[in-house]
Copies of this chain bind each other. A is one copy, B any other.
Amino acid sequence: MDKIRRNERMSAMLKILTDQPNHQLTLSYFCDLFGAAKSTMSEDIDLLCNTLRSFELGEIQTLTGAAGGVFYRPSVRDEQAAAYIGELCRQLSGTERLLPGGFLYYSDILSSPQMTQRMGEIIATQYYGMAPDFVLTMETKGIPVALMTARALGVPLVIARHTSKVYEGPAVNINYVSGSSGSIQTMSLARRAVQEGQKALIVDDFLKGGGTARGMVELMREFHVQVVGAAFVMETDDPPKKRIAGEKALMRLRIHREGDEEWAEVTPAEWLMK
Contacts and interface: CB of A to CB of B under 8 A. Distances in A.
Interface in A140-182: 140, 143-144, 147-148, 150-151, 156-159, 161, 166-169
A47 interface: yes
Interface in A18-66: 18-20, 33, 47-48, 50-52, 54-55, 57-58
A11 B9 CA distance: 10
Nearest to A167: B103
Contact of A113 (B99, B105, B156): B156
A15 interface: yes
B147 A57 contact: no
A19 B101 CA distance: 37
B166 A144 contact: no
**Complex copy number for this chain:** 2
Contacts of A147: 111, 113, 116, 143-144, 147-148
A169 B104 CA distance: 9
Given A55-B12, A167-B105, A151 B193 contact: no
A183 interface: no
A108 interface: yes
A77 interface: no
Contacts of A48: 11
A107 to B, nearest CB: 6
B57 A167 contact: no
A57 B166 CA distance: 38
Contacts of A58: 15
B57 A157 contact: no
Contacts of A221: none
Given A99-B166, A192-B105, A111 B157 contact: yes
Q: 6 nearest interchain CB pairs?
A: A113-B151, A103-B167, A7-B7, A111-B157, A8-B51, A12-B55
Interface of A: 6-8, 10-12, 14-16, 18-20, 33, 47-48, 50-52, 54-55, 57-58, 99-101, 103-105, 107-108, 111-114, 116-117, 139-140, 143-144, 147-148, 150-151, 156-159, 161, 166-169, 190, 192-193
19 contacts: A6-B7, A7-B10, A7-B11, A8-B54, A11-B11, A11-B52, A12-B51, A12-B55, A12-B57, A15-B18, A99-B166, A99-B167, A101-B166, A103-B169, A104-B167, A111-B158, A113-B157, A143-B143, A144-B144
